[in-house]
Every structure is written in structure tokens, then in C-alpha cells.
Structure 1
Amino acid sequence: MKVPLTALAEEHGFSGVVLVTRGKEVLGDALPLIDDRVTVEHLLTHTSGIGDYCDEEADPPPPPTPFLATSAGYLAALDGYPQVAPPGTEFRCNNGAFAVLGLIAERIAGIPFADLVRIRVTEPAGLADTAFLRSDALPARTATGYLEDSRTNVFSLPVAGFADGGIYSSAPDFRRFWPALLGGRILPREWVDRMLRPHAERYGLGFWLPRPGVVHPERRRPRRHVLEHTRAGVRARRDPDLEQPPRWRPPAGVAGRVLHEGLTPSGTKATFGEFNGLAAYLSRGA
């Protein structure tokens, strides 16, 4: 049964309305195996307990999903996985939870998720090179992912990414994104603060938190922490190399490592300092 939003607003405030909204209130009869009690906050904090269509800890691992390209395809792929734990009782990284969040966002906004990200994230942040691209129609300057044996990973990932990962970007856009997010240009500052507070064990709302007592990058010394994007969210960690003023010089091979490991759907593994340095290096045309 739906709870009136006005009553929720009086009890939890506007941001609380979003977090306590139950997935079924938006999805209706879709994904019937998801517990009726699962909320947006459960999905954001990996505590929903829903079955994961892409469980990276499963043995054997789930089969690749190379043909996923639309929200209808993701909806079909997410169906059929029973609840594995009651909502709010267990922390377990869950790619499917973020895909479900994408479906919820689409239904609320009434537009495709990729368009929503463009309108609400990449355009306000000035990210001209960041988008959900199709793997079968990549621009010529796009880096491709790879496997351990050096083959491309085109058959290991969906045709087009979704809310659980797969967006393409560039080094300069990575440099622009974090100041835009932390400065309140994408979300109100109070929402960013709430995202970076613990909601589960060492986890915020889509953010890994570095350790007890450190819940977000320090405002006065922002270079003391770096943020890394993974399929499960964004990880914030302390980087002692960034304690000193940045004096970056591109060591041998770092450009290739960043381009292949940091700018593909496999996730970012280079430090924020390296991204800054690489962006400056590339902007000089070197």
C-alpha cells in the first residue's frame, strides 16, 4: 500500500521521502521476487537483500550479458532472482540493486536513464566526453576494455551500460566531476553530505567510506583523499601520496594504464592525482 508523500515528508523531510520510498511503489508488479519492504535506501546501501543478476562473488560466476542495451532488457535480466536476505539485515555488494535504482529513476523521470544522467549530471558538471556509449558503435578515440589474456572484453559486458556501471569518460572529465559533485552543482550540498555519511558498514549512499572516523573528503584539505568509481559505487580512500603538493610527472606507461584501466567500464584504478596530471599533460598536446 502506498504511503502518502505528504505524511512521509512531515516525518522524514524531503530527502527522507526519497530514501524511504519502497521500490514496489514505483515498479508496481515488475520484479515480483523483490521484497515489498525494500526501499531506495536499502538499494543504495547494498542492504536490500535482493537476488543479484550479476553476483561477482558467485561460484560459478554469472554468464556474461553482452546483449543488454535497453531498460526493458535489464528488467528482463533482473527478473527471476529470489530475495536472499530480509531488507536491512545484511550488507552485500549488489550490482542488481543499482540496476533496479536505474529503473526506478526512469519511471519517476519519464525518460531513459542515459538521458537522465546527461541532463542531471554530465551537462551541469560540464562533462562533454562522458556518456553511455554502445560498445558496437564506439567513437574512434575511445579506449576499449580488455581481459587478462589481452582480448577485448566486448563479449563480457552489455552493449550499453546502465545504472550499475558502463559509462565512458575521459581524464579531463574525471577532473571536472569531483569538484562539481562536492561543490553542489549536481546535487544540493546537504544531499552530498548525506551520501558521504555512514549508512551501513563503511558505506554511504553509493560511496565506500575509507575507515571509521573519516566519513568524507575533508573540505579544507581535499587532496588528502581520492575517490574511485566501481560498478558498486564510488570508493573514497586516503592516499598518502597526495599529502604533499602535487608534483606530477607522467612515469613510463602511466598514460596507457590510465587509459586502459581508468577510462573503460572496468573501473578506475589510477589516483585522482594521476588523472589531474594526465589531463594537464594531454591538454598540452604532449
Structure 2
Amino acid sequence: MCSGGLDTGFASLDYLQIGILGVIQGISELLPISSTAHMRIIPALLGWQDPGSAFSAAMQMAALAAVISYFWRDVQQVVTGSIGAIRDRDYDNRWFKLAVAIILATIPICIAGVALSGVLNSCNSPLRGLLVIGGSCVVLAALLAWSELTCKHERDMSQMRLRDALIVGVAQIGALIPGVSRSGSTLTAALFLNFKREEAARFSFLLGLPAIALAGLKEMWVLVHANIGADAWGHLIFGLVIASISAFFAIWGLMKFLERFSTWPFIVYRAVLGVFLIVAVSGGWLAN
């Protein structure tokens, strides 16, 4: 379903379907398992209309609300600490350095997002094919497994250098490919840099704030100018509320989990999901 060339399949779904997808979106957006992948897979398995890339992008506002509320103290310290550092010309301030790192790491995905915007959210985008998603799931699972097997996981965020931030920022570009996952790509890059698992996740979430905000606000702007109906807006707002609540609990669960365990459950899940999709599409059980 298209509106002005924009994929707006969510408008044809009912509130129960939107609620279910909102829960799935909220959980998968902030876990390293790819929300875009699940937004394609679940409707395909249940025989529902694909909600479209516009829905997935707009739902990032739910992730934004969840990350800000969960990491409110960090966000507040980054903002106030940076302002104080600039005022006092104390450029060695840890919060100012973190703010600079986040800004630097956001630049690559902004450039890539603008360059690929015509493909990412277009109707029937080739990037939303299930084979692409399946392959992306397997590749990221392999990289995440490699990081678990070879890296030491001993650094914390106070040791973050600008070079580290730029590397993680470049890795974030992978999130533009459905199936990769923004949190998955940035978490994996941070683990390769030997950060502790919970510290890698924390930086991944904080790093994602500008990118999530820009992508979500851009999509909202596009939807406003696409002249979608009042019913479609009702669906979208309902989905945002459900996804925000789900996303908050997803962050809470992931942070508690990574304090004690490794990312192997996510690795296995991604690998199994990716292989299933490749086999299902190749065997004709699911349409690509």
C-alpha cells in the first residue's frame, strides 16, 4: 500500500494487529535482533499486510522515548556537563568528550541515510526482501559470535576515544540494511573494541539517540506531507504508545542480562532465524 510513493501498509491493519506489531517493534528495536526484520517476518508468517518501512521508521520515536527515560541520568549529565565544560572551557570533561563522541559517531549514518533515502522507504524496496533479511541475520550473528570468542570485554565508557566512537558510528551504517539491527551492529563493533558487554550496550543506546531522533522526526515529517488519513494516524499513535512501553522493558531486560551473561542467546536466535528465512524463501514456503 502506497501513499505518494511511501510504503504505508500499516494503514490497512486493525488495532489488534498494530498492537501486536507495536510490542514486537518495541522489543526488537532495542535488542540486537533487528526490528525491521521482525516487521517483515511476522506479517509474512501470519498473512498480514506488510506494515511498511514508514511504520518501522516512525516507530523509532518509541525507542527514543524509552532510551531517554531509561538513561535519563546519563542524558542529563551529557547535556549539562557539556554545557558546563564549554562555559568553563574544560574540554577534558568526561561528559563533553562523550557528547563529542556521540556527535562524531552519528555523522556516518546521517550521510548514508540521506544517500540511500530513495531506496530505503520506497514501495517494494529490494532491501526489504526476506532473502536480504535472512542473509543479514546470519552475517551479523557470525560477527557477534566472533567478537564473543576473540575479545576481552574489559574496557568501560570512561576509556572511550574518538577513534572508537567513529568505528562504532561507521558500523551503525549497517543498520540501514534490514536484518542487521542498529543495536546489533553498534554493540558488535563496541565488543570488538574490547568494551564490557553492558558498557557496549550502554554506549550503543546513547549513541543511537541522535540517529533515532533524526530518522523518526524525518519520517514523521514525510508522513505529515503524505496526506495519510486520520485512521492511519490513529494506528500510528496507538503503535507508538505500545512500542514505547515494550521498548523500555526491553532495555531494562537487556542491561540486566548483559551484566551477567554473554550475547550467545541472541547469536543463536539470529542464526536460526536467518537460516530459516533463507530456506523458507528458497523452498517457496514464503514469498520474498
TM-score (norm. length: structure 2): 0.23
Give the number of the structure with larger relative contact order, counting CA–CA contacts within 8 Å between residues 6 or more apart. Answer: 2
TM-score (norm. length: structure 1): 0.23
